[in-house]
Amino acid sequence: MNKLEATVNTDNAVNALVQRRIRPDVRAMHAYVVQDASGMVKLDAMENPFALPLELQHALGERLGAVALNRYPGARVDVLRKALEAYVDLPPGCALMLGNGSDELINLLSIACHQPHGDPHGDVNADSRAVVLAPEPGFVMYAMSAQLTGLRYVGVPLTPDFALDVPAMCAAIAEHRPALIYLAYPNNPTANLWDADAVQAVVDAAAQTQSLVVIDEAYQPFSSRTYLDVMRARPQDTAHVVLMRTLSKFGLAGVRLGYMLGQAALVAEIDKVRPPYNVSVLNCECALFALEHPQVFAAQALAICAERARLQAAFSALPGITTWPSDGNMILLRVAGDVQRAPAVFEALKARGVLIKNVSKMHPLLAGCLRVTVGSAEENDRLLSALKEVL
């Protein structure tokens, strides 16, 4: 048998195995693609543009060099958990659990709430599966996690100006009686912070169906409000709410560490499905180091917010560009013109060395839209220069 025949036989065997053993819905999916940002001004992934100061880099390097890589994570993870509890001023009666980024926490919530034969107390959905419900457009992992863990996903469109459609949300909650409801606060990719009364109306509606509400505060370092204040002030009314955050936007996207907090008895149940040793010793030590220098990251967040305001003002002055208020480290733009205009602007910016995110095909409400991460002053200057040239 020659090499070509061997390759063909191997390919046929693999294809047969895939068809037999890999789920049809997984075969139909597209893998999450990370854009190649080599040599680019990288403004596509809501990352903090600032590196650690040089003296902190050296200090962290020495500290990581002393970590016992030959041992599984141990007591230091508990130290990190307690440090985060102090950092957020954990409300009485609440507990906090750690995840390998927010994505893992979303998966753990789906696993914990998965009931393939419907609600055992009689609230049975049309196709019998537990439901995950979220406003759209929103974070793609809510729907993806639901699909991969066997839950049914229901999306409820936002209004045309990306506000929460409270009547539609409440009607969907009453109809589907979801196991999980996600509210990104502020939202991704629209970047806006929904009206506090609107959010509370949805939270109150969820209480009537005993649905678990997940407030996703991934962009909290740049936000003007936090739902944690409500949870602290009204523990009885928010017993069915958990709050999720990440250190990615704090400035540690490469560390992959998220955390979730809520009533202790509820968090304890979800924590049962968490894999052992899900937070590595290196991730743990990096996070502890960052929490020992909060002023550095707070200053970075202030600088990003100032640049956000400068960018929004500059975008508003450009012809054919519409923006919305942002409480995150990103700004949503709509480019006037036909359906090809936004992708054309995206490609033209990319050709000029500036990488942003084309979200124009993610959802009908996002037609003509691009999402821009707020970068450093120099990066934002390059973006504005390139965008003016393109327009």
The tens digit of pLDDT for each residue in 197-236 reads 999 999 999 999 999 999 999 999 999 999 999 999 999 9
Per-residue pLDDT of 237-269, as tens digits, reads: 999 999 999 998 888 898 999 999 999 999 999
CA distance 275 to 273: 6
Measure the CA–CA gap between 106 and 33, rounded to whole angstroms.
19
**How many other β-carbons are positioned within 10 Å of the β-carbon of residue 87?**
15
Are residues 57 and 263 in contact, defined by beta-carbon separation less than 8 angstroms? no
Question: pTM for the complete prediction?
Answer: 0.92
Q: Is residue 191 a contact partner of residue 323, using CB atoms and an 8 Å limit?
A: no
Burial class (CB in 10 A: 0-12, 13-18, 19+), 376: middle
Provide mean pLDDT across the span 176-205: 97
Residues 6+ apart with CB under 8 A from 94: 231, 261, 262, 263, 264, 267
Give residue 250's pLDDT: 83
Which residue segments constitute the domains of the chain, with CATH numbers given? 25-50+295-390 (3.90.1150.10), 67-292 (3.40.640.10)
Inter-residue contact 124 to 164 (CB < 8 Å)? no
Question: Who's near 363: CB < 8 A, 6+ residues apart?
Answer: 136, 137, 157
Cis check: omega of the bond before 178, within 30 degrees of 0: no
Ranges 79-88, 107-116, 161-170: which has the least confidence: 107-116
Distance, first Cα to last Cα, the chain: 58
Sign of CA dihedral 342, 344, 350, 354: negative
> Does residue 285 contact residue 67 with C-beta atoms inside 8 Å?
yes
Q: What angle do CA 291, 292, 298 make, to 5 degrees?
A: 60
* pLDDT confidence of residue 12: 86
Quick: pLDDT tens for 92-121.
Answer: 999 999 999 999 999 999 999 988 666 655
Average pLDDT of every residue of the chain: 93
87: its two tokens:
């950092």
Residue 182 has pLDDT above 80, yes or no: yes
* Residue 119: per-residue pLDDT: 62
Determine the pLDDT at residue 115: 80
pLDDT at 13 over 90: no
Per-residue pLDDT of 311-348, as tens digits, reads 999 999 999 999 999 999 999 999 998 889 999 999 99
pLDDT of 235 reads: 96
- For residue 126, what pLDDT band results from cuts at 50, 70 and 90? low
Residue 366 · residue 360 · CB < 8 Å: yes
* Alpha helices for the chain (secondary structure H): 3-21, 24-27, 54-65, 75-88, 101-113, 140-148, 166-176, 196-208, 228-233, 264-271, 281-291, 294-316, 341-351, 377-390
Distance CA 377, CA 391 (A): 21
Asked if residues 270 and 109 have their Cβ atoms less than 8 Å apart, the reply is: yes
- The span from the CA of 326 to the CA of 305, in Å, is 10
Element (H, E) at 373: strand 369-373
